[in-house]
Amino acid sequence: MWTISSALLLSSLLAGVRGVAIEKKPGSRFSALADVVRNPNYPLDVVDKLEESTMPKVEEWLTKKIEAGTNNECTLENAVVRKEWSDMSETERQEYVAAIMCLTKLPPKSDPERFPGALSRYDDFVAYHMTHAMQLHDNYHLFGAHKYYVWLFEEALRNECGYTGYQPYMNYDRYSEDPLNSPLLNGNASSIGGNGEPDPDYKGVPQPGRTPNIIASGGGGGCVTEGPFSDLVISLGPTSMSMGSKNVPKNPRADGTGSNPRCLRRDVNRNAAMGATADRVFSLINDNEEMDGFYNQLLGTPPPRNDPYPWGIHTAGHYIAAVDPGGDPMTSPGDPLFYFHHTALDRLWWIWQMQDPEKRLYAIPFVNSTMPMDMKQRRAPDPKDTIVDMEWLGPAINLMETHDQLGGNGGAFCYIYV
Ligand SMILES: *[C@@H]1O[C@H](CO)[C@@H](O)[C@H](O)[C@H]1NC(C)=O
Ligand SMILES: *[C@@H]1O[C@H](CO)[C@@H](O)[C@H](O)[C@H]1NC(C)=O
């Protein structure tokens, strides 16, 4: 019941919130950084500090490009900022969630014969990922094609659903100790929904070749019942590669493209999240001079030894909320968490590139291993001849255009991370 004392309590709580010393981003020449406010609950970790110390280098490099006229009109003044989820205000977070719900209500543009299971514009992105997963994850495309893919998703949110912000990323370290009670996955109104109901049939995500050889279930696995995406309808999938519970209903088509409306299932998983703590991410960026090493360590190849969470950052980030569709490498973008993860990887790649932009910006890894996650490996004659064709999502562009987020894609890419 609403009483005077609860009103007083509320106002003192609000005063307390206002009273917290908020940290503003210190002076940078990037205009957009002037207004960034950080969440006081999360002091900067080693990766954030590395990023901060890299910013002068980034500014100097962009300034050089501006002088040379190769910046495609991307400048220190008009570059926008992608923020960490917890650094966004609760209003901004709710605006993001509402924009995703909006995309799930818009009609699809993909071919309905080929994808009867694509029920919305949101599903158009899932349909692309599920039919291009092998290419999207090869050594040529893992970074650049995903950068473009996430950017097109961000554009759809902004242009088709009136979202005024940019795609958030997750700093894994903020949530790795206790993802269930984190601002991202605690299931309250400013999260992206909570855990799934317990499903005893769900055991976790197998990790052949690693010790331990499974990311053991965190106790969820069933339908998400709390928070923003508890009424999200998943339709595409599962495919034969799904590692979800056997209780996930089968798709009417063998390739998973049929219509199969069902709930979002999750196992919010600390065992996975602990594989992406700040020390591990820092090592990924700091210990790899060469792209090959960076790529392999990201994928956990060769498997780290004497590490209780030896998954590699890419695997760890995906399975923070596995099951369905998060546990299906083909349809994983069906869980909005996918976009937080791949945006985080984009940020790590960028920090790595910016340590030595001249040498690292266009680096492509060569892969020669038999780990399952490496999928298809190849070395085309020249990466400059590689085209990223987004079909119904957006125009085909040259792979090299996807490597530079400050001026790439004809200047359409013009963003930084904070
Ligand atoms: C949601 O949870 C976060 C993290 O605990 C908290 O900061 C926020 O105030 C909560 N918001 C709502 C609307 O309950
Ligand atoms: C790839 O690895 C195999 C087995 O480890 C090795 O025999 C082969 O020479 C390698 N190829 C290249 C191009 O490095």
Residues 197 and 71 in one domain: no
Residues 223 and 164 in one domain: yes
Q: How far apart are CA 410 and CA 418, in angstroms?
A: 23
Question: 296 C-alpha to center of ligand 2: Å?
Answer: 15
Q: Residue 254 domain-assigned?
A: yes
Question: 118 C-alpha to center of ligand 1: Å?
Answer: 33
Question: Which domain-ending residue is among 86, 114, 148?
Answer: 86
Q: Residue 46 domain-assigned?
A: yes
Mean pLDDT of 318-328: 97
Instruction: Assess whether pLDDT exceeds 70 at residue 175.
Output: yes
Residues 125 and 244 in one domain: yes
The response to whether residue 70 sits with its C-beta less than 6 Å from ligand 1 reads no
Would you state the pLDDT for residue 9? 41
Instruction: Assess whether pLDDT exceeds 90 at residue 372.
Output: no
Instruction: Assess whether pLDDT exceeds 80 at residue 242.
Output: yes
Atom in ligand 1 nearest the alpha carbon of residue 186:
2
Greater model confidence, 17 or 369: 369
| Ligand nearest to the Cα of 187, by number | 1
Residues 158 and 269 in one domain: yes
The response to whether residue 365 sits with its C-beta less than 6 Å from ligand 1 reads no
Residues 69 and 107 in one domain: no
Residues 104 and 244 in one domain: yes
Residues 224 and 349 in one domain: yes
The response to whether residue 39 sits with its C-beta less than 6 Å from ligand 1 reads no
Q: Residue 183 domain-assigned?
A: yes
Q: What's the CATH number where 233 sits?
A: 1.10.1280.10
Q: Tokens 């999750």: give the residue.
A: 266
Residues 320 and 363 in one domain: yes
The response to whether residue 190 sits with its C-beta less than 6 Å from ligand 1 reads yes
Residues 197 and 225 in one domain: yes
Q: Residue 360 domain-assigned?
A: yes
Q: Residue 155 domain-assigned?
A: yes
Q: Residue 387 domain-assigned?
A: no
Domain that holds residue 32: 3-86
- 122-136, 141-155, 226-240: segment of lowest average pLDDT: 122-136
Residues 79 and 104 in one domain: no
What would the pLDDT profile of 378-418 be if each residue is shown by its tens digit? 555 577 788 899 999 999 999 999 999 999 999 999 999 99
| Ligand nearest to the Cα of 302, by number | 2
Residues 157 and 43 in one domain: no
The response to whether residue 178 sits with its C-beta less than 6 Å from ligand 1 reads no
The response to whether residue 217 sits with its C-beta less than 6 Å from ligand 1 reads no
What domain count does the chain have? 2
Residues 67 and 200 in one domain: no
| Ligand nearest to the Cα of 368, by number | 2
The response to whether residue 90 sits with its C-beta less than 6 Å from ligand 1 reads yes
Question: 367 C-alpha to center of ligand 2: Å?
Answer: 10
Question: Which domain-ending residue is among 86, 104, 136?
Answer: 86
| Ligand nearest to the Cα of 371, by number | 2
Q: Residue 48 domain-assigned?
A: yes
Instruction: Assess whether pLDDT exceeds 70 at residue 163.
Output: yes
Q: Residue 168 domain-assigned?
A: yes
Question: Which domain-ending residue is among 33, 66, 86?
Answer: 86
Would you state the pLDDT for residue 28? 84
Identify the band that residue 371 occupies on the pLDDT scale cut at 50, 70 and 90.
very low
What would the pLDDT profile of 213-238 be if each residue is shown by its tens digit? 999 999 999 999 999 999 999 999 99
